[in-house]
Amino acid sequence: MKRQKTNKTTVLIGLMIGTFLTAIEGTIVSTAMPKIVGDLQGIEVMDWVFSIFMLTSAITVPLFGKLADLFGRKKVFTIGTLIFLSGSVLCGLAWSMAALIVFRGIQGIGAGAVMTLSTTIIGDIFPVEKRAKMFGMMGMIWGIAGILGPLVGGFFVDVLSWHWIFFINLPFGIVTVLLISIGLMEKISHEQKTIDYAGMVVFSAAMGLFLFVLQRIGEYGWHNLLNSGLLISSFCLVAAFVFIESRVKEPLMPLTILQNPVVLMTNILAFLASIILIGNDIYMPMWLQGLLGYSAMASGFVLTPMSLTWMVGSFLSGHLLTKFGLKIGEAVGTLILMIGTFLVMMLRMDSHPLSYYFITAIVGIGFGITLTLTTIAAQSATDRAMRGAATASNQFFRSVGQAVGAAVFGMYFNTQVGQSIREQGAATVSANQLNQLVHPEGHEQLASSVRNLLRELLFTSIHHVFILFFVLAAAAVVVALLLPKHADSVQNE
């Protein structure tokens, strides 16, 4: 019996839908977060909703890649998508912030499979000369998700409820599974691969402990003895992870790839930019909805220019690389990002509404140039044999940057909230009332004097987070200027 051929169009549509679902998860949740916080309470732990998703997806990317080599792309992609859908349904049913965080972790595990296997399957079914076009189409899906995410999230929050930002994944995810099951035909080689279980466990423990410590520092301060012990323990686990990765055959993170100075420096840039990105996704909607009283959909419209200009920045990055080289290209990208974050830092409660659209557009161009060039540089600075590892390392640093960034900003925000409460009168307001302030309807139930005091408190706390955006962007400019001189040779690849 003749084996059926893969229907490339069917598979590509399935992969695009799956990629869209995982890509939209960041922005669709960010515009709904003020409403979620108001309903479930827990503004002090909201950063975990983002951190846990990015952490579990980052860790499971290499795992699912190797499982796919052993058991086939179709089977592992299907299982990963079903895990993602199960997590989505559970997130929609979450009864507390703690439950939502756990279920987001499950959702992230499935997202790791979808993200890595979408790229792998395209590499399997399309010849080399067509892959660039296919990857370009997948990149466009990320751009579309960035544009639609805030709007779709705002629509569901304003018209239905925040639960639907998770439930909506179910029908589209089922279509994805059906399309891949019908269209993808493969011959499984059962190639023996070793999986770095020890590295995965130790890195998960190190990151989980580090993020937990950051949460505690925001609540109990730096001088708490338990916090110091936990922080030292997390650093010891990181050292153990480095030791393991230097000795296993197929490590979770190949340390040898980081010996390439271009890959190392561009990964640091990706890490810094990703920290700012997740901070913007969390705290800009909180600013717009909690301080200015915007609806979820209105705040989504404000974030839309960033996604549009991100694509413009990605397009410009190629021209900058060709004409001026990587170093100048990254310097331009990070400088634009620094200017954008400076303008964010200068925002006040009475800033003109149109200024938000202008500022997010500038920030989007900065992200588009900076992050696109880090990926191109990581691939072009290595030979073909190490190109996959270099690309994976870039994605790894981005994901970890977002996970760490959410926790760092959460710690900083909680610290500022506590300090502002002490300075402005603990007897008058409490941190829990912030949950009510950011709720679309709940803030109306607060007394006018309390509401004004809470807004001042929220303004001060988020403003300090915005200052940190600028500091990190300035650090990114410095890193870009420190790129080695021979880095410009990647333009000739």
pLDDT tens digits, 385-441: 566 667 677 777 887 888 788 888 888 887 777 777 666 655 566 556 666 666 656
Residue in this structure with the two tokens 């588009």, named with its chain if needed: 368
For residue 474, what pLDDT is reported?
A: 95
Are residues 30 and 154 in contact, defined by beta-carbon separation less than 8 angstroms? no
The angle subtended at Cα 39 by Cα 36 and Cα 437, nearest 5°, is: 85
For residue 85, what pLDDT is reported?
A: 93
What is the pLDDT averaged over residues 291-314?
80
Q: Rounded mean pLDDT of the chain? A: 80
State how far the Cα of 314 lies from the Cα of 371, in Å rounded to an integer: 8
Residue in this structure with the two tokens 């990151």, named with its chain if needed: 207
Residue 1 has pLDDT above 50, yes or no: no
- Regarding predicted confidence, which is higher, 477 or 186? 477
Are residues 410 and 215 in contact, defined by beta-carbon separation less than 8 angstroms? yes
- Regarding predicted confidence, which is higher, 238 or 393? 238
**Lowest-pLDDT range of 22-26, 286-290, 337-341, 376-380:** 376-380
pLDDT confidence tier of residue 213, bands split at 50, 70 and 90: confident
For residue 153, what pLDDT is reported?
A: 82
Closest to 313 measured CA to CA, from 346, 341, 335, 343:
335
Residue 29 has pLDDT above 80, yes or no: yes
Residue 323 has pLDDT above 80, yes or no: yes
State how far the Cα of 101 lies from the Cα of 94, in Å rounded to an integer: 9
Which H/E stretch holds residue 95?
none
For residue 476, what pLDDT is reported?
A: 94
Residue 192 has pLDDT above 90, yes or no: no
- Regarding predicted confidence, which is higher, 239 or 219? 239
State how far the Cα of 286 lies from the Cα of 290, in Å rounded to an integer: 5
Residue 190 has pLDDT above 50, yes or no: yes
For residue 493, what pLDDT is reported?
A: 47
**Lowest-pLDDT range of 30-39, 57-66, 134-143, 335-344:** 134-143
Closest to 48 measured CA to CA, from 109, 95, 87, 102:
102
State how far the Cα of 321 lies from the Cα of 116, in Å rounded to an integer: 27
For residue 280, what pLDDT is reported?
A: 86
Percentage, residues of the chain above pLDDT 90: 15
For residue 492, what pLDDT is reported?
A: 45
For residue 466, what pLDDT is reported?
A: 92
What is the pLDDT averaged over residues 465-478?
94
Q: What is the 3-state secondary structure (H, E, C) of 328-396?
A: HHHHHHHHHHHHHHHHHHCCCCCCCHHHHHHHHHHHHHHHHHHHHHHHHHHHHCCCHHHHHHHHHHHHH
For residue 202, what pLDDT is reported?
A: 86
Burial 79-111 (b: 16+ CB within 10 A, else e): bbbebbbbbbbbbbebeebeebbbbbbbbbbbb
pLDDT confidence tier of residue 384, bands split at 50, 70 and 90: low
Residues in the chain: 493
pLDDT digits (tens, 9 = 90+) for 452-469: 777 777 888 888 899 999
Amino acid residing at 21? L
For residue 287, what pLDDT is reported?
A: 83
What is the DSSP code (8-state) at residue 154? H
- The sign of the dihedral angle between the CA atoms of 480, 482, 487, 491 is positive
Residue 334 has pLDDT above 90, yes or no: yes
What is the pLDDT averaged over residues 214-243?
79
What is the pLDDT averaged over residues 155-181?
88
- The sign of the dihedral angle between the CA atoms of 6, 8, 10, 16 is positive
- Regarding predicted confidence, which is higher, 3 or 324? 324
- Regarding predicted confidence, which is higher, 191 or 277? 277
